[in-house]
Amino acid sequence: MEYQNGTASLEAALSLCAQQPDLRVLRRVGPIDRLVSDRPARGDVRRIGVVDTEATSTNAHTAELIDIAVAVLLVDAGGEIVGVERTLQSLRDPGAPIPAEVVKLTGITDEMVAGRILTHEKWTRLLSGCDILVAHNASYDAPIIERLLPEVAGQAWACSMRQIGWLDHGFDGAKLGHLLMQIGRFNNGHRAAADVITLCHLLVHRDLHGRTLMGELLEKAGRDTVRIDAKGTDFAVKDRLRERRYRWDPAGKAWWIEVCEDEVNEERRWLEFEIGCRNPVMTVMTACTRFR
């Protein structure tokens, strides 16, 4: 079959490829404003700040910010994006050479950030004005931002990596770029602004019931949970804890898990009778205390 050059013929060729079981068509992500729903807004509309940072290391408590971006979205009660209020991106000089591996990953060089400073008042006003901030790894982004902008401390956060059931929706893994390819999209580069666009495309993806993943994320972020730290457990039970989805906290030197309030009693019984941990530390977690 032959096609003449032009948009129509290209779309026909792509459609033909998409029908082949051994081929997958990926389309580049588009501008965020194209993700705005044409449906009338339902219920209250909130400001959702989709945020990403790039920094000098993977340690959120010591890394120096070099790149930050945010898209402030207007989202209705159904999880639909009904408007884009503002986007902003800034580079920042970390005050020391950027490690080579970070340069390879992000493409950000010392020359690009030399002398660049963050306008604290502008960024504080913008982030504090959001009802909730969303990042794909909020445990990384939240501490970095709050250390640099202390006035933002205490802001509500949601984590799209941990608070969306990717496996339940047929995805494998939770890395941002890999998830994007699984919805038939791709993006170039690993910069803060590019990752914000990528995350926005994922958040408007719909589950089998037609609901956006943004809706699921915001619902889960609004629920209180309980963090259970299994203090003082023997090294020999680490594999059993890991199998039950406990994580190791190197700072607190304990295995921990976060559960819904109605799961607390069952988890305490399991720890006592199966692990021998009779006095776990219990901490109520909210969107304003989680991911710190």
Same domain for 263 and 143, yes or no, is no
Total number of domains in the chain: 2
Same domain for 76 and 190, yes or no, is yes
Q: Over the stretch 87-111, which tens digit does the pLDDT of each residue have? A: 999 999 999 999 999 999 999 999 9
Is the pLDDT at 3 greater than 50? The verdict is no
Is the pLDDT at 19 greater than 90? The verdict is no
DSSP E strands, the chain = 27-28, 46-55, 65-75, 81-91, 132-135, 157-159, 185-186, 225-230, 247-249, 254-260, 281-285
Same domain for 242 and 278, yes or no, is yes
Q: How big is the chain, counted in residues?
A: 292
**Residue 118: inside a domain, yes or no?**
yes
What is the average pLDDT across 75-95? 98
**Residue 80: inside a domain, yes or no?**
yes
Same domain for 239 and 134, yes or no, is no
Instruction: Output the pTM of the full model.
Output: 0.90
Residue 42: CATH number of its domain? 3.30.420.10
What is the average pLDDT across 22-32? 90
Cβ-based neighbour number of residue 53 at 10 Å: 23
Question: For 202, how many CA atoms within 13 A lie in the half-sphere containing its CB?
Answer: 30
Same domain for 79 and 214, yes or no, is yes
Query: Is the CB of residue 41 less than 8 Å from the CB of residue 82?
Result: yes
pLDDT of amino acid 18:
72
pLDDT tier for residue 206 given thresholds of 50, 70 and 90: very high
Q: Over the stretch 166-203, which tens digit does the pLDDT of each residue have? A: 999 999 999 999 999 999 999 988 899 999 999 999 99
pLDDT tier for residue 5 given thresholds of 50, 70 and 90: low
pLDDT tier for residue 16 given thresholds of 50, 70 and 90: confident
Q: Which residue has the tokens 């504080």?
A: 124
Q: Give, as one character, the DSSP assignment of residue 274.
A: I
User: 77: domain range?
Assistant: 9-16+24-221
Same domain for 247 and 213, yes or no, is no
CA distance 159 to 245: 17
Is the pLDDT at 290 greater than 60? The verdict is yes
Same domain for 55 and 194, yes or no, is yes
Classified as helix, coil or strand, 258 is: strand
